[in-house]
Each structure stands twice: as structure tokens, then as C-alpha cells.
Amino acid sequence: MTNTILRLGTRRSPLALAQAEEVRARLMAAHGLGAEAIELVTVLASGDRVQDRPLAEIGGKALWTKELDAALLAGEIQFAVHSAKDVETLRPAQIAIAAVLPRADVRDVLVGAASIAHLPSGARLGTSAPRRAAQLLNLRPDCQVVPFRGNVATRLAKLAAGEADATLLAAAGLIRLGQSEVGAALDATEWLPAPGQGAIAVECRSDDAKTVTLLAAIDHAPSRTGLLAERALLAALGGNCHSAIGVLTSLAGDMLTMRAVLFSPDGAERVEAEASFTAGDSAGPAGLAHALLAKASPAITAHFTGS
């Protein structure tokens, strides 16, 4: 399709590179390109540089995207690859999600015990994700949460060093790293995943029609539909990096069913609601958000700005 060398921006972590290689392979297959046609351009994201504090304390999800955004807007790269759950809900108008790859396993994997119920009394779970922390404390208030950040290898090393008794990782990330044998996957209907979990998003400049067309060939419509609905739910909730939310979305024909749960940060309170609506109906996720917030106590609504 083109003789120009295309530059694909990615973070430098092993998982980010694996995701970038998947994007490159799909583009090569779709357009008959050789590997030399797509150059991987790596950046060191702020979120990778600072690993001793929770994201919420140092800038939130933008720490995963701002360096790649700057490279994209400066024309240093044509497109960038992200774990969709790490992309902040409100994005610059100049940047568009041009492709979503087929969504992988959305579940969390527990490493260190066979299940949440099998965690020993008083167990220390390593995580810096508000959703994981609150969901654990809701189910097992006897357990403790200790801060855990870093890539998969770093967190597994911290676990092996005894900094915690167990930790949680995304199944999709383990699969992409060839480590699907690690840990025990949790039932997604009982332990709800993060919005966007398992999805890879490819972004480009909104006004770059050539790249938008190039990426359209690898866009997986059902995965895009589910992801955009979950992002619409987040937008309507007005959550932030301290907000604990889990969501599970299924698509049957042109109907989406979305089940979501909100927690207070300490896990003591939770509210849940479910809605079904036509794919692409932005009013559906917004209605679900309003239903959740209407039922929630101040301990939960304090961490959301929706209404």
C-alpha cells in the first residue's frame, strides 16, 4: 500500500513491545508489507520511570500516554499502540482511536493462591489498582493491600521476594508474553475486569486520513464496539484514578449487555447495575452510569463526578 517507512510508537516494556509487534504483524498481513516497512519507535513513558508511587498520586493514566501523544502530534510517529485500559477517558481532539485489535481474555489472574477464597487469613495482596484493591477488600476484608507497581516481571519478582503473598495480573498480558501458565484466572462474572481490559488500541492523528485508512484494515468491529461502550460508561461516571470500577460487556448480534460495579476505595460498599442496549447507543452506557450513581452512597460518589 505504501513504500514509506511507517513509524509505530510504543512504550519500551516487554508487554508494550509484544503488543506493538502484534500490530505490526497484522498490518503486514493486511497490506502485504514487509517488516522493514514499519519501524518501532520506543519511548520511556513517565509511568515506567516512576514506579514507587501509585499512578493516582503522580498524574494518572496520562503517564502512559503523554510521551507517545507528543511524538504523534509532532509527526515523529504515524501511530501509537496502547493497552486500552491505560488510555485516559478524555483524549485530545487531534488524536483518534483508529483501530482496536480483537480483544483478548478480559480476566484477572491471581498469582499466589488458587482463588480469592483460598487466600490465607490476613494475606497481603500486592496491587496499586483501586479496582483490584477495593474488590479484594469487599470480598476479603481480612486481607491487606500493599502497593505494587511495575511491569509483569517486576511484580512477579516482588512477589517472589516476599513483598506480598499474592498479586493480580491481566490474563491478556500474560498470554501476550507467553506466560499463560502463570496463576489462576478469576471468573469474570464474579471478579469484574477493568474497563478496556484485554483490548489493544491503536491511535493516530485525527486529520491523518491516510493512516486512518491504513489502520481501518486491522480494526475489529466487535472489540471496538465493546471498548467504546465501556469508555462511554467511564465518561458518564466521571471517574478518576481513585475510582474503583469493574465492568463486563458482552455482545450478541447488535445488542450489548453491560454489567458494572462501583466500590468505595476501602471495599466496604458496592453498587451494581446492568443494562442492555444497541451497539453504538451512547445513551445506554450513560443510563447505566446514572443508575449506578443514583444507588451509590457518598463513600462511592465522592470518587465520581457524573450525575
- For the question of residue 254 being annotated catalytic, the response is no
Inter-residue contact 248 to 194 (CB < 8 Å) = no
List Cα–Cα distances, 261 to 7, 65, 274, 291, 293, in angstroms: 39, 26, 9, 11, 10
Whether 245 contacts 279, CB under 8 Å:
no
Length of the chain: 307
Provide the grid cell at 196: 478496556
SS (H, E, C) 22-72: HHHHHHHHHHCCCHHHEEEEEECCHHHHCCCCCHHHHCCCHHHHHHHHHHH
Distance between CA 301 and CA 79 in Å, rounded?
36
Q: How many CB atoms within 10 Å of residue 6?
A: 19
State the virtual CA torsion across 286, 201, 224, 292 in degrees, nearest 10: -20
Q: Which helix (H) or strand (E) holds 276?
A: strand 270-278
281: cell is 447507543
- Nearest Cα residue to 136 out of 164, 101, 155, 95: 164
Catalytic residue, chosen from 69, 86, 165, 208, is 86
Catalytic residues: 86
